[in-house]
Structure 1
Amino acid sequence: MHGVTAADNSILCTEDYCKNYPGPSDTPCPTLPSRCNKTDPESGIFLASPTPCNCCDFCIGYLNEGDSCSTGEETSDSPSEICGPKLYCDQATLKCRPMMETICTEAQMKYDQDKAQGKIGDYQIRPICDSNGDYVPYHCTPGGICYCVDKDGNRVFGSMDNNGKAAFELPCTCSRNHKEMSAVIGRELHPGEYFRCTQNGAYESLQCIDDQTCLCVDAIDGAPTYKDVAPVEIWAISATTLPCFNSSIYQKEFL
């Protein structure tokens, strides 16, 4: 099932709709940048397309180190190409340059040096950095567990068994945001100041602010999932007032 990007309620997003898209009256799918290759994740980033039901492929190609780039303006069109992972567009030269060393990339270099010298232990793995040079949200120990970490690699709330699926099942967004907000205000957050996190570091779907007003949120970004449903006072919670309420899960806590 695809998401509708147009405001036309007559469009029904089905597999058949996209198989037959574009039709005679539809806008043709845009041509993908030549750099983009679905079989090569390093060639670009594939995103939802600005077409009905996201039927078309849409990609922003990755530029290589030394390629010409543009920092763009607020009024500029969306770019078709950007500097690739661990690269940035140098405003002085308008060329893609390597990012400054981060805690994660420095840890990678240290690991590589130790490995070359035979100093790596059986349970050590090479740190994984994201496109900004920060640690990815999780760290795994061979044969053990995977746990959530902040962008500097420090452990935060959230963990699971190391079953090889941490990239898909350990988002850590709630626990990471909690840590970052604590750093911003300079103290630990009090109950009622933050959303509750699930065991995998995601947002719990039912949230109550100051134990008074409750609402449903998205597990990944914490945004309200039912924007037309007003927050509900905690004493009035039920499956009727809040769609995300599950009495088998929350019975002891709210009933």
Structure 2
Amino acid sequence: MLRRKKVELLTLFVGLQLVSSFVEGKTVNGDHGLSRFRDLLRNDTDRFCKYIICQENETPGRCPEGTYVDGVAQFGCCGACVIFKQYGEDCTGSIDPKYGMGYHGNDEESLRAQLTGSGQISDSLPPNQNVLSSSWCDFGLQCRMGITLKTVCFPGGDDDKGCRYVQKQYQDFLADPEPDPEGNPQSEKFIPFRDDYRWSPTCSEDGYFAEKQCKGPSNEGRCVCVDPVGNRIFGSAFDFQKDLYETMNCKCSRKVWERYQAGESTVTLHCAQNGNYEPLQCEDGWCYCIDPVTAKTYGPNLPESALKLLPCYDAKLLGQQYLRRCESEFHAHAHLSDLLKAKGVQPPSISLSCDPDGSYSPVQYDGPDAKCYDRYYQWLWSPAGDGCQCRRDNMMFKDLGIQVNVNCEVNSGMYEQIQTRGNTVYCADQDGVRTGPLVYKQYEAYLSCKEAQMCQAGTNRNCRLACEHCTREFYDS
């Protein structure tokens, strides 16, 4: 939750009578509740906000896309729609924590002082929208001195562009895509197999990448789980995996990632293949049930020895114990290591790696050699690269009876950068998703996967270089 801001007492005067009514039902030190009011606002904002009734309280669904910010209205207790300064506009700061303090900043300065026009109608939005205008730059932009000696919004570094920045660049691209390669420089025509590989990321309220991202062209894409800066973590689903695809939220995968980032050496949460929580979870000897779709717990907490009494227990899925083969082996080694360290003995190292669903990770080491394995520890390929995703997907397609031809790198088990589909070729990422224009085979040399990748990352000027000098007949129709 965003940190609440101090508000000058004069701006609070209108609400004093209401506030004093909940302060023990009487005046305090003759100040009509001001001291208590001030104390709650500074030291117990969660309790303070329980007494605030949000007027015109906005929610993400009621705000124009990308404008909802929590904790900015009515003493920092209510949500609001906020528009931020864009590239080249005058500014006083940045909402992006990478380039400023965001709304976690100076306690002595009221958040409301950073917003002008409470309830003001923005010229670019419908007149029925209650939108606040901020003097701070949007996510992905930093406020710094320009050549005119004024502070204006500039994009972040090429390697440091946030989710909101990429999202905004994608929207700008759709509004004014590259000219039609047939030669009409005024054309705003969107060419499917040239432009459709770009996708808009889903951003969290604080401007980072949401847990679940669905990437790639329509009917060709894949949903994956990512960390807050967009790096791939455990969990994915294709659209033909309906049960996994339609309910996917990646809540479990993100939580496991967070715990490992916090320094935990062993995490016993169980995630499904799509990154959702499995219904039954056990930690530190206690077990409980959780709804995979809502990620909310229900029912009692019971000792692991009594897990069969939980309403979510399924003997067919779980068997007789919670830990699976890979994690049982890993946790046994971790326990032995702790015992040896307590006796001053250096424990042996372990190269075993498990996924958050308790199965074996794709890459396992046999001495110095990395090899690809399936989730049951059956050898697939060697040598291995970073993930072996292509080899695993290829096996999954065969098991499901799906006729898909994919090109895997011989020396890694990952997807080759150039993939073939019939008489066409295209650039692919680590998940096999198309990340560039789709052209006929004879024009493969015109493709630049690096430029296409930069285009997707929000550098719009690189989009035309993804297939430089390509004309309309290069693309599939």
TM-score, normalisation: structure 2:
0.32
Counting only pairs closer than 5 Å after superposition, residues 176-255 of structure 1 correspond to structure 2 as 176-185=254-263, 189-190=265-266, 193-209=267-283, 212-217=285-290, 219=292, 225-226=298-299, 229=300, 231-239=301-309, 242-243=310-311, 245-247=312-314, 250=317, 252-254=319-321
1:146 counterpart residue number:
223
2:233 counterpart residue number:
156
Instruction: Check whether the contact 2:225–2:236 (CA below 8 A) recurs between aligned residues.
Output: yes
Secondary structure of the residue aligned to 1:238 is helix
Instruction: Check whether the contact 2:236–2:275 (CA below 8 A) recurs between aligned residues.
Output: yes
CA distance change for structure 1 residues 225 and 44 in 2, over 3 Å: closer, same or farther? same
Secondary structure of the residue aligned to 1:158 is strand
Instruction: Check whether the contact 2:270–2:277 (CA below 8 A) recurs between aligned residues.
Output: yes
Counterpart Cα distance in 2 of 1:68 and 1:168:
42
Secondary structure of the residue aligned to 1:64 is strand
1:166-214, Cα deviation, whole Å (9 max, x unpaired)? 99733212212323433443x9x44xx241112321222321126x431
1:40 counterpart residue number:
64
From 199, 218, 223, give the equivalent of 1:126.
199
Counterpart Cα distance in 1 of 2:259 and 2:271:
14
Counterpart Cα distance in 1 of 2:223 and 2:61:
31
Counterpart Cα distance in 1 of 2:245 and 2:155:
24
> What is the Cα deviation at residue 237 of structure 1?
2.0
Counterpart Cα distance in 1 of 2:271 and 2:238:
18
Instruction: Check whether the contact 1:135–1:149 (CA below 8 A) recurs between aligned residues.
Output: yes
> What is the Cα deviation at residue 38 of structure 1?
2.5
The structure whose Rg is larger is 2
Counterpart Cα distance in 1 of 2:257 and 2:198:
24
Instruction: Check whether the contact 1:174–1:202 (CA below 8 A) recurs between aligned residues.
Output: yes
1:86 counterpart residue number:
139
What residue ranges of structure 2 are gaps of 5+ in the alignment? 1-50, 94-102, 119-131, 144-150, 182-192, 323-477
1:135 counterpart residue number:
209
What residue ranges of structure 1 are gaps of 5+ in the alignment? 1-26, 51-57
Instruction: Check whether the contact 1:237–1:254 (CA below 8 A) recurs between aligned residues.
Output: no
CA distance change for structure 1 residues 89 and 253 in 2, over 3 Å: closer, same or farther? farther
CA distance change for structure 1 residues 37 and 121 in 2, over 3 Å: closer, same or farther? closer
CA distance change for structure 1 residues 73 and 46 in 2, over 3 Å: closer, same or farther? closer
Counterpart Cα distance in 2 of 1:33 and 1:89:
29
Q: Which amino acid aligns with 2:237?
A: M
Counterpart Cα distance in 2 of 1:183 and 1:219:
23
CA distance change for structure 1 residues 150 and 126 in 2, over 3 Å: closer, same or farther? same
Secondary structure of the residue aligned to 1:237 is helix
Percent identical among aligned pairs is: 19
2:351 counterpart residue number:
none
Counterpart Cα distance in 2 of 1:167 and 1:99:
34
Counterpart Cα distance in 1 of 2:260 and 2:209:
19
1:58-98, Cα deviation, whole Å (9 max, x unpaired)? 632314215778746399799986768517897xxxx9966
User: Over the residues paired in the alignment, what is the CA RMSD in angstroms?
Assistant: 5.3
Counterpart Cα distance in 1 of 2:207 and 2:276:
22
Instruction: Check whether the contact 2:251–2:275 (CA below 8 A) recurs between aligned residues.
Output: yes
Instruction: Check whether the contact 1:138–1:170 (CA below 8 A) recurs between aligned residues.
Output: no
Secondary structure of the residue aligned to 1:174 is helix
Q: Which amino acid aligns with 1:60?
A: A
Instruction: Check whether the contact 1:86–1:99 (CA below 8 A) recurs between aligned residues.
Output: no
> What is the Cα deviation at residue 129 of structure 1?
5.5
2:335 counterpart residue number:
none
CA distance change for structure 1 residues 32 and 97 in 2, over 3 Å: closer, same or farther? farther
> What is the Cα deviation at residue 45 of structure 1?
4.6
Equivalenced residue count is: 204
1:31 aligned to 2:44?
A: no
